[in-house]
Amino acid sequence: MTSESDRRLRIGTVIDREIFLKIKKNWRQAARYRIERNEALIRVQELEDQVADLEGEIEELETELRLMSF
């Protein structure tokens, strides 16, 4: 009986370890995903700011062009 319970304990420990490693791997993947997502959001914000700046410059140039054409 003792050997049977020892065997079950060892099997349970192996299964627990496999589950732990899967959770750990998924946790790392989730953390990596969050980091990449945050970096992408920052980049999107930077690009939106650049677009806004360029739109402002375009408006200024269009105004100058209109004034020059008169």
Residue range 11-38, pLDDT digits in tens: 778 778 888 888 888 999 999 999 999 9
H/E stretch holding 16: helix 2-69
* Best CA proximity match to 31, nearest among 8, 39, 47: 39
Residue 9 vs residues 18, 19, 56: alpha-carbon distances, Å: 14, 15, 70
pLDDT at 44 over 70: yes
The DSSP secondary-structure symbol of 66 reads H
Task: Please report the pLDDT score of residue 4 as a whole number.
Answer: 76
Q: Determine the Cα–Cα distance for residues 68 and 45; give it in Å rounded to an integer.
A: 35
pLDDT band for position 2 (50/70/90)?
Answer: low
pLDDT band for position 7 (50/70/90)?
Answer: confident
pTM (predicted TM-score): 0.60
